[in-house]
Structure 1
């Protein structure tokens, strides 16, 4: 029977079939952070259980960590400090590798893991964080899990898993100049909706997808969850395989390499595999996108007009649009161009990689951050930070008036001390623009790194294409 890539990965990791909808799934790698693991470890200890495969679990302190530009970081908030110290104690007890607060390779889990060669095609990777879908860029099935599931994985390296349906999103054509993978995924979410992929694992395919760099693919898969997807996949090709091999010294040569390459070549959907839902997009029609509301699907081309709530097809959508416009202090029919911003945030697991920072530097050039704007750049990891400094990106951005910070999740979710004040409008490269996401009453406009850089130097939402 013909199979999709998703079903191939699930079948290869199924320990036992529990019923028609559920399997016991083996997990190749389990990532942890400081805020979703404490209760799981407590449950483990109450049952006097250990962690049988500690080497297939990795922990990172990322969400609560401050990103102030200091040499030695200290988490001042007592509750956050307790989360970090508990993670360290639990990792030491169970011999689990940890990238702690001041580890030079510390960063956001979804940036650290692939750049250090932990993610390989064909793996199942799980984490107590919804943006684990990121790893689909390398042909690995990644998805977020809850705290009780974290405990189960720690104890058994397996998970009771409910099967998802298959969706394929094919994108042909080529992205126009000034348009990026971030714009593409915002356009996709805007069209299919925040629940458009609910219950599905999405496979991205088409000429526009294969033309993307691996880092751009990370952005695409990272935000698939904002359409309700339970996972995202891109079949491994020469681009992704070269990325992995460059970070996998154990596969430099010999039988292990040959076996890996032979297996990875099978990781694609069969030609006649059936998908439950199919969507098609033309990349050539995608313009730079910006969100106008309080959900990632409330996005429009930067040169478009904010839709009217009356355009919604149902009462729920109409109410959501009305509430979003009230929260963001915007009006239906208005243009976003020229909307003043007081803050710019560049970073996160969506857009905190070296390619993103290069794009920012290219836009900034000899320009300077506009008066009245506070602009922050937070690298996704210690390795990204070091590379940006070596390439001169950090110096260029600092000279332009940007704050150059330490790695971490930072202002993506206001779980640390990088929090916006009520009413502050922020151009952000993050993945969510929910009410209060970056601070109570703060207003978030999601956009690409290039678009955020344009906002920083002009002081308002700007079409980056107008600066070239």
Structure 2
């Protein structure tokens, strides 16, 4: 009898230690990633109970959320940020955990450095005290964001009690048109299914569009699964997955790699795999997408308009009215042409080398509109190094962007990179909640890095395809 389990359930079953009386599964965690914000209290819990880190070789730390990106000289100007840095340095040293600090050459956003170091591998369970841990699902891992008390649990036991979610397969078939990127795909999915649509589910992304995507594009999609309410999201491993991991620092080497690669690809959901739900989309329906509101589901194609309340279902009118008022839009206003004040390219969603290359293609030979504050923040020191070797830093600087050090930066603004007052930011990050970028009245428009670049050049929301066409002439 054939095994019709999808990848999620295969990996879950392989890591199930025990079924608890509560009905939850005690799940073994193969890789635990930690950072400076959610780990201090967790280490404190270990000290209170006189516990050690169960498997320090399965725990990797980096610093990303609070590190400044303009000047990283120590001690940091922000005393709280410096205190957090000192704490993670002390905790990692005391408990024997490897730390990728600023002096390592490997520091960066936790969901960028995990894959680029070869730490993230198919068939793994991955946990991190950060919402966007779902990023690692791009490799055929099942990856969960967890809270501080759960971070302590994983440190002490390498396990988590969890409820098994259902699995929804999301198929996108056809071919994306020029100017439509992975960010547009996931924003389109969230727009159609809603921010609560994935509650109780893991998402399997499948179909021709995901098959054609690079690993970095798949990471962008999986990264924002949580924004659609899903517990995690993943793509089945294939030869692209294998070749991305090959030769990386923490990957298996030699014959061990070939054995691992064969096993990795065997985990993929079979053609007759069983799912709790299947949803399909047509790639031809996806346009360059921009959020207009205060949730990632409140988005439109760049040629569309902010909704009018009369066109919105009754159940959604309150939150739509709130978003329109907060953002300062008029009902039915076209999203294109919306003036911006800030352009931000970076984050664990879109701070990888391919993202910077896409944006650089748009800004090359052009200038940022006067008065626009535009910054580029590589997702890791390795990304920054590659970008500079390719001359991307010069392209951005000549256009009028600030070229920064690696970090989370303006994605969540737990550092000096913040919006001011009612500024509008064209952002390649993942959340547009009120206050997300550092000021309670700041406004965020999520879009692809190429669209951010176009907005910076034009000073307003612009269809990136128009600039791409001009470049081709």
Shift of 1:182: 0.2
What's 1:125 paired with? 126
Q: Which residue of 2 aligns with 1:392?
A: 391
Shift of residue 248 of structure 1? 5.1
Separation of aligned partners in 2, 1:47 and 1:332: 56
Give the TM-score of the pair, scaled to structure 1.
Answer: 0.97
* C-alpha separation in 1, matches of 2:265 and 2:79: 49
C-alpha offsets along residues 168-220 of structure 1, whole Å, 9 cap, x if unaligned?
10010011000000001001100000011111100000011100010000000
Query: In the alignment, is the contact (CA less than 8 A) between 2:245 and 2:251 conserved in 1?
Result: no
Determine whether 1:449 maps to 2:449: yes
- Cα separation, 1, equivalents of 2:310 and 2:75: 50
* Residue aligning to 1:204: 205
Pick aligned residue for 2:53 from 41, 51, 54: 51
- Counterpart residue number, 1:307: 307
RMSD between superposed Cα atoms in Å: 1.3
Q: Distance in 1 between matches of 2:158 and 2:72?
A: 37
CA drift of 1:19 comes to: 4.5
Matched with 2:471 is none
Structure 1 window deviating more from structure 2 (78-87 vs 280-289): it is: 78-87
Helix, strand or coil at the partner of 1:257: helix
Question: Is residue 298 from structure 1 mapped to residue 298 from structure 2 by the alignment?
Answer: yes
Match of 2:31 in 1: 29
Q: Which residue of 1 aligns with 2:193?
A: 192
Matched, 1:420 2:419: yes
What's the CA shift for 1:83? 1.5
Match of 1:279 in 2: 279
User: Using a 3 Å threshold, how does the CA distance of structure 1 residues 29 and 177 change in structure 2: closer, same or farther?
Assistant: same
Within 5 Å, give how 1:54-453 maps onto structure 2: 54-68=56-70, 70=71, 72-247=73-248, 251-254=252-255, 256-315=256-315, 317-438=316-437, 439-453=439-453
Alpha-carbon distance in structure 2 between the residues aligned to 1:277 and 1:249: 35
How far the C-alpha of 1:440 sits from its partner, in A, is 2.0
**d(CA) in 2 for partners of 1:252, 1:461:** 46
TM-score, structure 2 normalization: 0.96
Shift of 1:240: 1.1
Length, aligned pairs only: 465
Q: Which runs of 5+ in 1 are unaligned?
A: none
CA distance in 1 between partners of 2:236 and 2:18 (Å): 25
Report if the CA contact (8 A) 2:204-2:235 is conserved: yes
TM-aligned CA deviation for residue 416 of structure 1: 0.9
Distance in 2 of aligned mates of 1:229 and 1:178? 27
1:153 and 1:371 mapped to 2: Cα distance? Answer: 49
Q: 1: distance between equivalents of 2:429 and 2:9?
A: 30
How far apart are the structure 2 equivalents of 1:415 and 1:248?
Answer: 30
Deviation at 1:312, TM superposition (A): 3.0
Q: Which secondary structure state, in structure 2, belongs to the residue aligned with residue 15 of structure 1?
A: strand
Segments of 4+ moved more than 6 angstroms: none
- Give the whole-Å Cα distance in 1 for the aligned partners of 2:126 and 2:400: 39
Shift of 1:459: 0.5
Say whether the 8 Å CA contact 1:73–1:101 is kept in structure 2. no
Could you tell me how far 1:52 is from its partner in structure 2? 2.3
Structure 2: 5+ residue stretches without partners: 469-473
Distance 2:23 2:259 in 1: 32
Q: 1:85 to 1:249 in 2, by over 3 A?
A: closer
Query: What CA distance in whole angstroms lies between the structure 2 residues aligned with 1:378 and 1:328?
Result: 25
The alpha-carbon distance between structure 1 residues 274 and 314, as it changes in their structure 2 partners (threshold 3 A), is farther
Change (3 A) 1:267 1:20: farther
Asked if the contact 2:119–2:251 (Cα under 8 Å) also holds between the matched residues in 1, the reply is no
